[in-house]
Amino acid sequence: MSAIAKPGKIIAVHLNYPSRAAQRGRTPAQPSYFLKPQSSLAGTGGTVERPAGTELLAFEGEIALIIGEPARHVSPAEGWAHVAAVTAANDLGIYDLRAADKGSNLRSKGGDGFTPLGPVAIPVDGIGQGDWRVRTWVNGELVQEDTSDTLLFDFGRLVADLSQHGTLETGDVILTGTPAGSTVVVPGDVVEVEVDAPRATGAPTTGRLVTTVAQGTVAFGDFGSKPAVDDLQRIEAWGSEDAHAAAVAAGRATPLDAEPPFELTEALRARLSSVAVATLSVALRKRGYHDVFIEGVFANHPGDRIVGRARTLRFIPARPDLFASHGGGYNAQKRAFDTVGAGEVLVVDARGERGTGTVGDVLALRAEVRGAAGIVTDGGVRDFDAVAEIGIPVFSRGPHPSVLGRRHVPWETDVTIACGGAAVQPGDVIVGDGDGVIVIPPHLVAEVAAEAAEQDAADAWIAERVAEGEPVDGLFPMNRSWRERYERERDAAASGALPPEEAR
């Protein structure tokens, strides 16, 4: 066995196993390829992030060839002689981004950690190109198994074909395709890939290449191609309609015909920033949402506003044994502040207990550095003046000098919580101003923001009329004649036909 050097090139084959071709419903006449960057390499025992805003991260267990003697213009019969060793690979990819590069796979398969290799390489001396086996396990269950003697294009032919177009150099890696059984994995899953030669002397093996899936927290920016998923992609990623249906039943997949994932765009964020929480509250009440106000919290700085998607942190009541097991080290509180993303709001469930701090100056600074939009806690704030000076908007029940362990154990992150009597789920939209903080379910954000913006504009117009000396009777709320005048002036101003001051 040998260690694996960093390759100059990583070349991957699209379709090569008959079992996978049958699953895809097409059999290529010739092999096709794509490149993966060096930065996608990873070893065993690491994690790979499913990027924020995506749902279809798929594994592909593969046999990887490591080139020994450089190859240029070699024949298929000579190709295998240029392979020095074989190892295991996991050709991970995001279906949500497959359309971004029209087949180059740069964004869908080139992410950091998307090419685990190893753990060791097996020298090929005395082992034929058809003697290899690849197996993949997900959470301990065998999901892929196939052998290299079934390939549509054997290893020698791949080397020869690629050598026609450029030199394969020592250390270059060729990922030779994946068999049937590749499917989607979700955060928390553990994928293991092993390549061996069971019929060779000593039955050499690479050992298991282990990768754990984690959830990414950094959202894609408002530039470049965005993740996009449709039902065809879901079925192809999971492997079949039946496999997808089983995953939906197990709570691991998004159903077909699902609404696209909600995105808090800059335009939506700006609109929410321009309207009052009180007005949003009215719009939500009209839709039956009466308990979405986080009671009892106020801003550290008068005039502070927050708008962002929720990340959550939950505390439970203090107990010595539980604090001993969960309160020290890299606990849930530290993890929450270390991973809150740009534009997000960290919402803390402190059960309304204000008798100790739930955030202090160091953690508030960490959230500020990471670009968080704000912090909301229905508990106390330690180092209150120092936190206020940091500048990040914080809504809380007020100051308290005591440390966390007096009343709380930091328990878990990114779960549904109760904060100030309101249910908050990760991804909910949080808006705060001088009236307090409100929680908006994502599916209602666009319509509620639009209605609130219209209502705020109407209220501002009413305020102008009152300032001019008009009585409030019939004006607030507007009767029919006032409503008609308002709409006439609004429409004229919007069309540019008449400036608002002249319209009056």
Residues annotated within the binding site for Mg(2+) are 383
Q: List, in order, residues 6 or more apart from 498 with CB less than 8 Å away.
A: 492
Q: What is the DSSP string of 222-270?
A: SSSPPP---HHHHHHHHSSHHHHHHHHHTT-SPPTTPPPPP---HHHHH
CA angle 446, 449, 452 (to 5 degrees): 150
The H-or-E segment that residue 387 falls in is helix 384-390
Q: For the chain, give the longest Cα–Cα distance.
A: 99
CA angle 326, 328, 332 (to 5 degrees): 55
Q: Using CA atoms, how far apart are residues 35 and 385, in angstroms rounded to an integer?
A: 53
The H-or-E segment that residue 93 falls in is strand 93-94
- Go through 31-59 and write b for each residue having 16 or more CB atoms within 10 A of its CB, e for each that does not: beebebeeebbbebeeebbbbbebbbbbb
Which two tokens mark 265? 């765009």
In 10 A of CB 423, how many CB atoms?
Answer: 13
Q: What is the DSSP string of 296-328?
A: T-EESSTT--EEEEEEEEEEEE--HHHHHHHTS
In 10 A of CB 172, how many CB atoms?
Answer: 22
In 10 A of CB 288, how many CB atoms?
Answer: 6
Positive or negative, the Cα torsion across 306, 309, 311, 316?
A: positive
Of the chain, the end-to-end C-alpha distance in Å amounts to 86
Q: List, in order, residues 6 or more apart from 243 with CB less than 8 Å away.
A: 183
Q: List, in order, residues 6 or more apart from 385 with CB less than 8 Å away.
A: none
Q: Are 247 and 253 in contact (CB under 8 A)?
A: yes
Instruction: Summarize the annotated binding site as residue ranges.
Output: 360-363, 382-383
Q: Are 398 and 357 in contact (CB under 8 A)?
A: no
Instruction: Summarize the annotated binding site for substrate as residue ranges.
Output: 360-363, 382
Q: Are 350 and 359 in contact (CB under 8 A)?
A: no
Q: Using CA atoms, how far apart are residues 232 and 99, in angstroms rounded to an integer?
A: 13
Q: Using CA atoms, how far apart are residues 414 and 431, in angstroms rounded to an integer?
A: 18
